């Protein structure tokens, strides 16, 4: 259906879509002190605005608001249509608890009853 629209109308729709994505970014990428809003995010990559962000490579931190969500290792980034498409190799969730270094029994008793 888009092919039936005039060129000016298609460009206007694309500009409005980009402006809407820029207005309310939920996720952001932090590299050192630099912060860039994420336009779209999927299981092995995300998209940044090319006017705001450089091509990235290496480890970056992904935040949702002020909450640290993921650590990602970007292996490739390319520019297409005013957007930088970053693909990552690993996406490690950040937790607030330390990692366990022992096996935890799933049928562990909740508590012990004293002898009566």
Q: Encoding tokens for residue 9?
A: 């109308």
**pTM of the complete model beyond 0.75:** no
Question: Which three-class secondary structure state does DSSP give residue 19?
Answer: helix
Of 47, 105, 31, residue with least CA distance to 80:
47
Give per-residue pLDDT as tens, 22-76.
666 689 999 989 999 998 899 889 999 888 888 889 999 999 988 999 999 999 9
For residue 7, the model assigns a pLDDT of: 86
Calpha distance 60→78 (Å, rounded): 16
Residues linked to residue 42 through DSSP beta bridges, in sequence order: 45
Predicted confidence at residue 65, as pLDDT, reads 87
Cβ atoms of 61 and 27 closer than 8 Å: no
Domain residue limits, the chain: 24-93
Homologous superfamily (CATH) of 24-93 is predicted glycosyltransferase like domains (2.40.10.220)
Residue 115 above 60 pLDDT?
yes
Helical (H) or strand (E) element with 31: strand 27-31
Q: Tell me how many degrees the CA angle 25-88-40 measures, rounded to the nearest 5.
A: 25
- Count of Cβ atoms closer than 10 Å to residue 34 Cβ: 12
Query: How many residues are there in the chain?
Result: 116
């Amino acid at each position: 259906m888009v092919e039936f629209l005039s060129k000016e109308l298609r460009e206007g729709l694309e500009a409005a879509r980009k402006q809407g994505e820029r207005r309310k970014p939920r996720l952001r990428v932090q590299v050192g002190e630099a912060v860039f809003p994420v336009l779209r995010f999927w299981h092995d990559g995300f998209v940044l605005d090319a006017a705001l962000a450089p091509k990235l490579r290496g480890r970056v931190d992904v935040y949702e608001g002020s909450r640290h969500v993921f650590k990602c290792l970007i292996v490739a980034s390319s520019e297409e249509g005013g957007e930088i498409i970053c693909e990552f190799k690993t996406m490690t969730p950040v937790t607030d608890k330390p990692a366990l270094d022992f096996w935890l029994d799933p049928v562990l008793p909740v508590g012990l009853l004293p002898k009566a």
